[in-house]
Chain A
Amino acid sequence: MGPRGTRSVGNSLQVRAFRRFARKPWCYGAAKQVVDIMERRGWKPYQISAIRCVMDDFRQAYTGERPCIYTTAFVPTELVYGLGAVPFLPEVAAGYAAAFGFAYDALGAAESMWYSADLCSFHRAGVGAGKLGVLPRPSAVIATAHLCDGGKKSLHRMSKDAGCPFYLLDVPYDRSERGQKRLRDQVEHIAFDLPEKVPGISPEGMAEAIRVSNATLDDYLEVCALRQHSPSPWRGGEALNYVVMFLGAWGNPWLAEFYKDLASHIRGIIASGEYPCCSERHRLLWLNLRPYYKTGLLDYLELELETSVAFEEYNWPYWSELDPDDPFASVARKMLANFGWGPIERRLAAVDSMIDDYSIDGVVQFAQWGCRQSNGGASMLADHLKRRGIPFLNLGGDGVDVRNGSEAQAMTRLGAFVELIDAKKAR
């Protein structure tokens, strides 16, 4: 996709090296051996499962072993796995870019293409990474129209650059029968149109992908139930890193392995009493994402302030079991079930459920710079929580672009917020 070998903004040594090696199959053989060593050296089974899940998808996407389909974060990946392809989420890749120090290059590349720094950095970095040629080559792009303007627009651009088919799932606003049918028809259209355009794609695996997804959901619901335990048995700071699994791997059998291992890990923590935050003072619900570049923010909150992030909005399972006999309608229903879509009351109700289920003392919304759909609800969220007597903090920052985040300021605000909860409990 990108201008290979050309000098452009962000085309750093790191980027050039990644671009050169990411498509070599032997790299994944070497990486597999490294993961085996990590496993022997005591990395936790769920961490190893997660790495293997991501690595497996990356290998198939980068080496062209299977067709790669770019999607936005809220496309049910059952659709992609069911078609026999491998999903790739550029906005998730932006999180990796931040974690591994590529983000500045990707953001610079996007800005050199006239993308405004006022746009959400997850999408901006995705477009920039595409320009730098560090993403796998997409065979097709599927975007949903709900929740996020940046996702669909950035992926549309990437499909044009790649010269591959672009499909927009124009999700209706309401959940009426008419709306469901419209969305179901669009899903079905993709499932039958794409095989005519991309070799190696077939809808035959849809039912199986949905069965895998359902089985995984059972495992995941157990993880969620275990996380209701107080003190919190798993750090939210770490859970926010695994949002990538939650967003991008439904329908992949590795995801079930990951959640099984995670449940086992959490059960072990509860049995041993070795909680990550032993003297837990408060339990928070975290809305939206977190900074993925190197930051001490979550450590400060959970370890120094002894305040657990007990659960995260973007890890909340909002759909019920899907029907493998009616896969297209199921995928449509899953999209429509998203609590971030539709009137704000749906999101407020979801937050209420999480507060009740996870015994939450306070709510923090990480106000990702440029995230209109989430930040636009802040005043209503604040008012709603105030009526419930739950303290709320709207914490400005940026998950990818370090230039928009001030760690010291954020820490000060979190410290003050914890004091506020202290005072509230003392009353």
Chain B
Amino acid sequence: MEQNRLLDSGKYMTELAQRINYLADIKGGLEWGSLRELSERVQNLRSKLFDLKEDELFVELDQIERRLDYLEDRVAQDLSSIEIVNIVRSPQRFTLQDILENCYDSYTELGGEGECNIDPAVVVARATITRRVKNRLYYHQVMVIGHEKGYGEEFRNGGCAKPWGNEKALRYMKVAEIEGIPIHSYIFTPGAYPIEDYPGAAQQIARNLFRMSRLKVPIVAFISEGGSGGAEAIGLADIRLMASRGYYSVISPEGAAAIEGRIKEGGKVPRELVEHCAAQLKMTAEDNLKLKTIDRIIEEPPLGARRGDYQFFRRLRYEMVRATDEVVLQTKSFRTFRSYALKRQSQEKTEGFSDEFDIHIKWSLTDSEKKRLLELRSKKYRSMGKGYKELRQSLGSRLSEAVETVKQNYYDIRYGLLRQRSRQVQKLIEEVSSEGSVFLKTVTEPVRVAYDFVFPKPKSENGLSQQDILRRSIFMQDWEQYISPLANEDKTVSCPNAEKYGCKDLWVPDLYGEFCGVCPTCGHHFPLEYQWYLQNLFDPGSVREFNKHIVSANPLKFQGFDEKLKKAIERTGRRSGIITFDASVFDIKIVVAMLYSDFRSGTVGSAEGEKFIRACDRARATRRPFLAYIHTTGGIRIHEGTLGVIQMPRCTLVVREYIDSGGLYIVVYDNNSYAGPVASFLGCSPYQVGIRSSRIGFAGPRVIRETTGADVPPDYHSAKNALKRGHIQGIWDRREFRKNLFEALMTMGGPHLYYK
């Protein structure tokens, strides 16, 4: 030992210096404990290496090592959340390439390698992983997808995937599905790179989630650094593992501190506030396990695994194989075998792990197993992220709920059983009659004309035909319409485009009354309260709210949030940031989910997610079109941490199920729509429309400036630019909203408006 040390004194010192640096990384500087002194002593020894006697040198080095051991133990005993964040951010932490090298036997990077890559922050590789069963080796093919933040940091953007990086990930997920091989995804990202260029940060994440929700291969995710939306882009998995010293969070502690402390752009965020927010966000592995946003924790060394911790890589390989087995076994129809295999695995878990497995399990799935896999995935995500409160319902509400259940059964029979049969018969009749119609037309035409003359087609109640209704705008309605309370002020306002287009000052009663908040010169849309839409968009008296009893709570016990919640409730008289209701538009019955600005800026937490899901399910059960009208959303509610983030895959999965069942899902953005919701259950809609003057995007200008260092033009997120980038399919004028919505329902829904 001594001999080895003697030979490697330089290496020994380097190792010590690295350990000191690592501790300094964790503690946020050399000022903690005696780190500075130890660091200086190592430097000193380096400079005097040839002046010292060997014995003296090693006595000194051993002393330093002992003290370091002691300091490391002290740090490991009581790691705070921010220290765990620092561990994850340390340059000495393992990265995806270390995993590829050490957990997999061979791998080939796909879609470019290293710097020559469409997005070096996302690495995709076809890899082989081995399993040893009774001294025999079995090879499994897998698709590894993950973020890489090391090995060429300067071009990897710290693991922040650009939209085209996520698109690449999606492309190879589809390849894995075609080839029927499982996906292992490794999440090492502080967040997605916030740019709107096509395919768009938010929209691409939404597309990934939409596809992953029905991907017919097992997906196992491992989280080391799970930064919100960026993590979700490849994180919708059947089993989610997490490193014991990793973090998974809705926002970085610095970002949360800047919001909580209302720090101005460029201002310094106090360290104490950052630490406080890190603790409040409940971002560690233990916290996430308690919140059930992950399934298992993979133990790391007490101070986190580094690049040379081979024991950890052995463990990780074992856990990844085991997790994939578990996903596959759960889909098997042989219950006895399934329970036997899973039992064996739990024994392996309790008895410690070895490289050896008892049985070999093939990872390919049959069609029925794939179906079960999707069912299980759906069940899993539907049961996650339930951090809301359910109030006791009144007798009336419970009665109406019972009526709803009866209705649902009725719809199931009507549209499920009977409809399917009637459609088959209808199709047959159509095919037969189209052949004969050519000959019959000459005979039937005069009869039809005579019939139409005697019995003209009935007009609607108000005497207008459907074409008349289409041409009608909301201006042509009776004067008993809702007028915004904003119109009650006797003053004028200036249009923000006055300098550009020479807009005249607008008298407020005119603007918010007759003009519906629209500048008559340039068409700029002034924001209007959500009540205006409730009253003007839907048929009078048709709005019937449901699930009012699901209310926002403070599941993380985030300090100070209870008061904020209370204030929001007092101000709005509502208890969540979403309103879900049945309504009709020109007699077309639809289900609507409306995120609105007054309640915590329309941010999405557990209650909002749950209400959205229930509304979507209701639309599916009743076979009605589903409209998500986004009055405003500020993203995922940071005070609910990962319980908020998990709403992204959760809701997307339910939307996917709704669309697959034949539903028509339309999203309309108004005012401001940003971040998580756009990057998931909104951005995945095939029909997205923006109201004029609205802004749609992933991250706001400030976040873009702070993360990318580049400034963005003032109209970067405008609906017009979103349209140019292909994120939305059209821009509607508020005054024509009702008419356009009706048209959209008729054209997109067509004859299959209620069911396909």
- Asked whether A and B interact, the reply is no
Question: B interface vs A, CB < 8 Å?
Answer: none
Residues of chain A having any CB pair with chain B under 8 Å = none
